[in-house]
Amino acid sequence: MSEERPSSGDREINDPRAMRALAHPARLAILNKIQTDGAATATEVAEVVGVTPSAASYHLRMLAKYGFVEDAPPRGDGRERLWRRAAGGWSVSPQAGDPPGVREAKDTLIQVVRDEAAAEFTRALGSIEREPPQWREASTFRRSVLLVEAEELQELIRRIEELLDPYRVERRRREGAPEGARIAEAQVALFPRAERRPHGLPSDG
């Protein structure tokens, strides 16, 4: 749904207003719902996100204001307004020259996205025993410590994105996916470790 590092074709967000509009757990959940399940009404996303239809409608209008969602073709009698995810992804990348207000907005949005990802991970971990054996075997929760130079880390990112790209839900048509395909999630974070400063020894007193 959302990324902190740009992929090919992603829209880089630098407007603090757009970032503040997106840095809301309910709005990120709405985007995730639309990305996963396709076009939906305010009432439909409200049921999943846990807000009132009027609140969902407000959040959708805010997302539309900054280009994250757009009107979808109507269904049925067309009385209900349908929303869909805007084409293309988005990314946020902190830069050394960012003004303080821009950097603060970027940091806030990235943290909200990471919190949502952590919550998704926790839900998956809590239900792993209820998954069928083939899905338990296909799941991995792994942390690796690497010794790399910057160019190697960039190449790793490029190769991982290349591997994931054909399977992204916004690119792979459901009717063309194998029988038994379901929504899964890849969480990738590659970064140089920040220095850990020693705490010092505790005193006996």
DSSP codes, 51-67 = S-HHHHHHHHHHHHHTT
pLDDT of residue 149: 97
pLDDT of residue 200: 72
Q: Please report, rounded to a whole number, the percentage of residues in the chain having pLDDT higher than 70.
A: 95
Residue 76 pLDDT more than 90?
no
Distance in angstroms (rounded) separating the CA atoms of residues 20 and 26 = 13
Lowest mean pLDDT among 96-105, 154-163, 195-204: 195-204
Assess contact for 35 and 85: CB atoms under 8 A.
yes
List, in order, residues 6 or more apart from 91 with CB less than 8 Å away.
Answer: 3, 4, 5, 6, 7, 10, 11, 12, 13
Please report which residue ranges of the chain form alpha helices under DSSP H: 16-22, 25-37, 42-49, 53-65, 100-127, 133-138, 150-164
List, in order, residues 6 or more apart from 88 with CB less than 8 Å away.
Answer: 9, 10, 11
Q: Looking at the whole model, is its pTM more than 0.75?
A: yes
Q: Tell me the pLDDT band of 172, cut-offs 50, 70 and 90.
A: confident
Helix (H, G, I), strand (E, B) or coil at 186: coil
Tens digit of pLDDT for each residue in 1-47? 344 444 556 789 999 999 999 999 999 999 999 988 889 999 999 98
Please name each of the domains of the chain with its CATH number.
11-144 (1.10.10.10)
pLDDT of residue 87: 82
Q: Check residues 113 and 201 and name the one with the higher pLDDT.
A: 113
Tens digit of pLDDT for each residue in 131-154? 999 999 999 988 999 999 999 999
pLDDT of residue 9: 60
Nearest CA to 69 among 31, 95, 14, 17?
Answer: 31
Residue 111 pLDDT more than 60?
yes
Distance in angstroms (rounded) separating the CA atoms of residues 104 and 94 = 9
Distance in angstroms (rounded) separating the CA atoms of residues 68 and 78 = 22
Cα separations in angstroms, 27 against 18, 50, 58, 80:
12, 11, 10, 20
